[in-house]
């Protein structure tokens, strides 16, 4: 790819020297007699000495629990998935509730306005309130005779009760499983039947796009499916909004009744009234997250409690400099790992803002919340920023935003042009952190650092303790300036324990199948190292950052025409820069959305690039096609130019808002639509058009042979 010359940073932290990251570097120097001078120095030490590093992190971020002497074998490889802190005893929820202040808000819940309720009041709970709610919920769960290792699930909205249920579940050693309320029943059934929860928390209705959507019919359909397919009859607790109580099953329990029963019983508490936290080993399963599952059953990824706790505290306290006085918001559903990421912010003692509703029906609403609630950490997706920019909305023109310190973006690569948009249209003096990691590790490989500058189009740095490198397809370390496959070459504590079922939680055959799936997912591509499936470029080191990261797309969606490999984001970035649906742009030059994939040609020995575009109320003209070709050729290379540019009605997305490249690639190369798990897609109906176009494209190729 054509790499632009080094540019001045878009943002330089004004007080980098007083950041927690610099303080941690000084602590390491003092403790081990070192002379580390830059972030890159600290990073290299952290991956060369993973045992010393993570031991120091534990003490620095003040983990509550017993650490013991053992940390990890510093000489092993990721493929062994080694045990961590084998003598430790901790409880994740206990560490979330170290703050018990009656004056400090823990959670603020905001809801999208509707015509019936144009100004819904915010709900607030203090840390003292939250502790009492969790204690009562713990008691209520124990009344159901739950034991450590039992699964407790949620099919709910982003509400206070959902956080309470998660904390109570993990407080007693049970395993949390969550699906967003906007997930279709079939998709949730495919997830829950794999883990068989004993309890399911649901909600009676959700708000989205200015409308109230009844949820009980979906909950009932899920329960019917669990009963029919695996004879499962979980206890059901319904969180009531007062909007829809006419379809309640007589066996269901309301949240109020559930909590009231727990309060009366007061189980799971010491004489002093403290929750009897179920402290387990560091590697005890905390929660199960699921892959998107577009081409098969979603993979049930089991994360260890200690790894989730230690990694989150490192990211928040050392790298991001989150503080108790921060107000932390992330736009997320309960089915995306960013919900888990957000909830982990309780460990810092800051205030979390939960939001239920559409982020864009009224583009000003979230930014109104920033001013009203004094949000200092604003998290979202690249897709949201892209759509906001396309609407031509400039938050800084309508809101003060003086409280903002950080903006986080993830879910897909953040285009270079969107860096410009944030600094020009939202806030000129904020740390914009594009972050990357994913459901597989429920945390970050690369992301934010409050001690480093922000460069256009780049993730700031590789995270401390995460030995990220880029490999060629042959398994060699990439040369400087060459893109490659993102790998992690040293063990890390947030690596999942495995796929469900773990040993002791299923039949020997099922456990062996899960272990095989796990190894195929992460260790089949390269020997002994973690393969993440992202095509990335590590840039030259600037300001001691050790090199930023440019995300180029998913590896399985990498394009390779004529043997020249490049990521799909290289095409998307050009389209975003030159053809976005902004008000300033000529209406005939606007592209609303796009998808780029490769079609196999010459008997599979080569491929050609196919670009699908969704336009803004127009038909693809020869003139626009020529402009697209010219811009891609001049800004990238002739090899990047699509062989075909085709207009489509819609672009398929997963439920979590990610473009569906690989399934479309398979479809245009001849796979049946039935090979795609439609329950994982937001708009599966659009695949039929791609199947029809694929047939035409294949006929074209055959005609040339």
Q: How far apart are CA 500 and CA 290, in angstroms?
A: 10
> In terms of residue numbers, what domain contains 257?
92-99+108-278
Residue 295 lies in a domain: no
For residue 295, what pLDDT is reported?
A: 58
Residue 671 falls within a domain, yes or no? yes
Work out the pLDDT band at 3, boundaries 50, 70, 90.
very low
Note the pLDDT of residue 583: 61
Query: Model confidence over 185-215: pLDDT tens digits?
Result: 888 998 999 999 999 999 999 999 999 999 9
Mean pLDDT computed over every residue of the chain: 93
Residues contacting residue 47 through CB under 8 Å, at least 6 positions apart: 53, 465, 466, 467, 490
Give the CATH number of the domain where residue 170 resides.
3.40.50.12780
pLDDT for the residue 649: 95
Asked if residue 696 belongs to a domain, the reply is yes
Q: Which DSSP state fits 271? A: T
Q: What is the pLDDT of residue 451?
A: 97
Residue 2, pLDDT score = 44
Examine the fold and report which residue of 278, 308, 339 is the final residue of a domain before the chain moves on: 278
C-alpha 457/C-alpha 415 separation (Å) is: 6
For the stretch 81-131, pLDDT in tens is: 999 999 999 999 999 999 999 999 999 999 999 999 999 999 999 999 999
Q: For residues 327 and 378, what is the distance between their CA atoms, to the nearest angstrom? A: 9
Domain-located, residue 575: yes
Reported confidence tier of residue 25, pLDDT bands at 50, 70, 90: very high
- Inside any domain, residue 342: no
Spatial distance between the Cα atoms of 11 and 480, rounded to a whole number of angstroms: 25
Residue 125: count of CB within 10 angstroms of its CB: 18
Q: Which of 113-117, 166-170, 636-640 has the lowest mean pLDDT?
A: 636-640
Taking the complete model, does pTM exceed 0.75, yes or no? yes
Spatial distance between the Cα atoms of 153 and 254, rounded to a whole number of angstroms: 16
Q: Does any domain span residue 202?
A: yes
Domain boundary among 247, 278, 309: 278
The residues, any chain, with a CB within 8 Å of residue 329's CB and separated by 6 or more, are 342, 352, 353, 355, 366, 369, 370, 373, 375, 377, 378, 379
Least confident of 345-349, 511-515, 585-589: 585-589
């001691």: which residue's tokens? 544
- pLDDT score for 637: 76
Q: Quick check: is 303 in a domain?
A: no
Q: What's the rounded mean pLDDT across residues 632-655?
A: 89
pLDDT exceeds cutoff 60 at 393: yes
Looking at 254, 278, 302, the residue that finishes a domain is 278
Show the DSSP H helices in 172-215 as ranges: 185-195
Could you tell me the CATH number of the domain that includes residue 600? 3.30.300.30
The mean-pLDDT minimum among 128-142, 549-563, 626-640 falls in 549-563
How many independent structural domains does the chain possess?
2
**What Å distances lie between residue 616 and 360, 452, 579, 585, 590, CA to CA?**
18, 39, 10, 11, 6
Classify residue 391: in a domain, yes or no: no
């Amino acid at each position: 790819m054509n790499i632009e010359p080094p540019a001045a940073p878009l943002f330089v932290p004004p007080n980098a020297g007083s950041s927690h990251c610099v303080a941690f570097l000084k602590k390491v120097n003092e403790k081990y007699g070192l002379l580390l001078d830059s972030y890159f120095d600290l990073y290299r030490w952290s991956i060369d000495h993973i045992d010393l590093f993570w031991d120091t992190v534990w003490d620095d971020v003040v983990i509550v629990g017993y650490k013991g002497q053992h940390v990890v074998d510093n000489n092993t490889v990721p493929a062994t998935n080694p045990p961590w802190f084998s003598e430790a005893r901790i409880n994740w929820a206990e560490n979330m509730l170290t703050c018990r202040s009656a004056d400090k808000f823990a959670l603020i819940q905001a809801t999208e306005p509707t015509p019936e309720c144009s100004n819904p009041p915010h709900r607030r709970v203090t840390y003292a309130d939250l502790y009492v709610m969790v204690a009562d919920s713990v008691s209520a769960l124990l009344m159901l005779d739950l034991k450590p290792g039992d699964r407790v699930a949620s099919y709910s909205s982003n509400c206070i009760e959902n956080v309470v249920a998660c904390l109570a579940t993990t407080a007693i050693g049970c395993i949390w499983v969550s699906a967003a309320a906007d997930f279709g029943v079939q998709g949730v059934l495919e997830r829950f039947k794999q883990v068989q929860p004993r309890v399911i928390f649901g909600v009676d209705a959700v708000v989205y796009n200015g409308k109230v959507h009844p949820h009980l019919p979906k909950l009932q359909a899920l329960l019917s499916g669990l009963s029919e397919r695996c004879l499962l009859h979980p206890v059901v607790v319904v969180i009531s909004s007062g909007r829809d109580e006419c379809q309640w099953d007589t066996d269901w329990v309301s949240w109020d009744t559930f909590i009231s029963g727990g309060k009366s019983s007061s189980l799971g508490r010491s004489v002093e009234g403290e929750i009897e936290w179920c402290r387990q080993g560091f590697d005890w399963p905390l929660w199960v997250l699921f892959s998107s599952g577009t081409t098969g059953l979603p993979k049930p990824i089991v994360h260890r409690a200690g790894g989730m706790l230690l990694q989150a505290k490192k990211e928040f306290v050392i790298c991001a400099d989150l503080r108790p006085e921060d107000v932390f918001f992330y736009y997320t559903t309960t089915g995306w790992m960013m919900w888990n990421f957000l909830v982990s912010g309780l460990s810092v003692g800051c205030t979390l803002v939960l939001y239920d509703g559409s982020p864009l029906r009224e583009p000003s609403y979230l930014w109104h919340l920033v001013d009203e609630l004094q949000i200092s950490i604003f998290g979202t997706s690249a897709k949201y920023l892209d759509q906001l920019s396309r609407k031509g909305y400039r938050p800084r023109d309508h809101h003060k935003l003086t409280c903002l310190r950080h903006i986080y973006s993830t879910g897909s690569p953040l285009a270079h042009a969107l860096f410009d948009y944030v600094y020009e249209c939202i806030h000129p003096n904020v740390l914009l952190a594009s972050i990357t990691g994913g459901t597989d590790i429920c945390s970050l490989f690369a992301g934010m650092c409050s001690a480093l500058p922000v460069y256009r189009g780049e993730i700031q740095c590789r995270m401390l303790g995460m030995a990220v490198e880029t490999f060629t397809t042959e398994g060699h370390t990439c040369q400087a300036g060459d893109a490659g496959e993102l790998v992690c070459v040293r063990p890390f504590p947030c690596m999942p324990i495995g796929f469900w079922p773990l040993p002791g939680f299923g039949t020997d055959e099922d456990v062996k199948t899960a272990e095989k799936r796990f190894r195929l997912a992460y260790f089949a591509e390269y020997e002994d190292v973690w393969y993440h499936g992202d095509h990335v470029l590590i840039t030259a080191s600037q300001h001691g950052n050790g090199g930023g990261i440019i995300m180029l797309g998913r590896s399985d969606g990498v394009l390779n025409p004529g043997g020249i490999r490049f990521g799909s984001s290289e095409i998307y970035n050009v389209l975003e820069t030159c053809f976005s649906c902004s008000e300033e742009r000529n209406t005939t030059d606007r592209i609303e959305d796009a998808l780029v994939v490769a079609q196999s040609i010459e008997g599979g020995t080569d491929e050609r690039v196919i670009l699908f575009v969704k336009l803004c109320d127009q038909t693809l003209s020869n003139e626009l096609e020529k402009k697209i070709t010219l811009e891609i050729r001049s800004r990238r290379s002739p090899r990047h130019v699509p062989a075909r540019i085709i207009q489509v009605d819609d672009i398929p997305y997963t439920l979590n808002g990610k473009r569906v490249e690989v399934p479309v690639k398979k479809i245009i190369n001849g796979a049946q639509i039935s090979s795609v798990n439609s329950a994982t897609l937001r708009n599966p109906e659009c695949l039929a058009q791609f199947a029809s176009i694929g047939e035409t494209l294949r006929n074209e190729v055959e005609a040339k042979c």
